[in-house]
Amino acid sequence: MRRRSALALLALLPAAPALAFPDRAVTLVVPFAPGGSTDIAARILADRLGPALGPTGGQRVVVENRAGAGGAVASDHVRRQAPDGHVLLVASASSHGVNPAVFADLPYDAIRDFAPVVLTGVTPIALMVPPGGARDLPALRAALAEGRGAYASAGAGSITHLAAELFLARAGLRAEHIPYRGGGPAMEAVARGEVPFGFETLATLSGPARDGRVRLLGLAQAARSPALPDLPTLAELGLPGVEVSTWNALLAPAGTPADRLDALAQAVHRVLAEPAVAARLGDLGVLVPPPTGPQPTAAFIAAEIGKFRAVAAAAGIRLDRP
């Protein structure tokens, strides 16, 4: 009797109000140094995300840079934070696509240690040659088939390294890998004719291509880019299956409540739908992806890891972190 009376009394009490989220500043942890395209894109997002969060908006969103080891430093930091949605990783194709495929000693598990929130941007990658190099894709393939091949990348284990290996595998060709210290130096080496080809992001290549310093042969994605609509895809040129883009996604520590992940994803969708935000990202070469949520983002990342693991295994790429 006493138990039934107590339950009846509890039923009459008002429900406890849901805890407000976010109740303090949200931090976006960028795994690269300030000034790069990922950092700038994160700051564009942070500037508009605060007003879009919470029932009344107005929470601050700050950017914190933790560079090192291709995103491993920032990833390891974020996975250790409280799973409450207030600290998020600006994950990249490097930290959560390539790194799990090529490094045996990562301090984090790219799937198990994180709760995906939303995909925030995609940057296409293109095949580049020197101005006086191969005039088209058939000419490049013919030169490589004769054993006169080498390619530049942003470094061993970088996304442009794996993009080139995927290209070679699909074309049934081989070429020597010449790693450089970043995408800029790799592009300059191709521009000078030191290396006959390489892959790099449109964010890096658009200006040099317009100036005639490099020539772009094809885009490594399924559809043409609005930034360079006249540039055909490699599939259009007869080489399907070479689809590699850099991307960014927001990830929370594993265990973050689903309602908070959904609230964050919805707020990001509202920001990315703003024409001014899309235009500013477009100036960086970053395309706004179709709206995603936690589950589609998780599926996307798992597919990226699987793709890069297959490429790395076929090319015999397995590295230890410096």
Per residue in 77-131, pLDDT tens? Answer: 999 999 999 999 999 999 999 999 999 889 999 999 999 999 999 999 999 999 9
The stretch 57-82 carries a mean pLDDT of 92
Higher pLDDT, residue 5 or 197: 197
Torsion, Cα of 192, 196, 197, 202 (10° steps): 20
Q: Would you state the structure tokens that stand for residue 235, as one six-digit string?
A: 């599939």
CB 167 within 8 A of CB 127: yes
- Collapsing DSSP states into helix, strand and coil, what is residue 140? helix
Residue 57 scores a pLDDT above 80: no
Q: Which domains, and CATH codes, for the chain?
A: 26-122+246-315 (3.40.190.150), 124-219 (3.40.190.10)
Q: What is the pLDDT of residue 299?
A: 98
Whether residue 289 has a cis bond before it, omega within 30° of 0 = no
The stretch 58-82 carries a mean pLDDT of 93
Q: What is the pLDDT of residue 268?
A: 97
Smallest CA-to-CA distance from 151 within 173, 131, 172, 135 is with 173
**Neighbouring-strand partners of residue 287:** 122
Per residue in 250-288, pLDDT tens? Answer: 999 999 999 999 999 999 999 999 999 999 999 888 999
Per residue in 171-207, pLDDT tens? Answer: 999 999 999 999 999 999 999 999 999 999 998 898 9
CA–CA separation, 135 and 260 (whole Å): 52
CB 83 within 8 A of CB 117: no
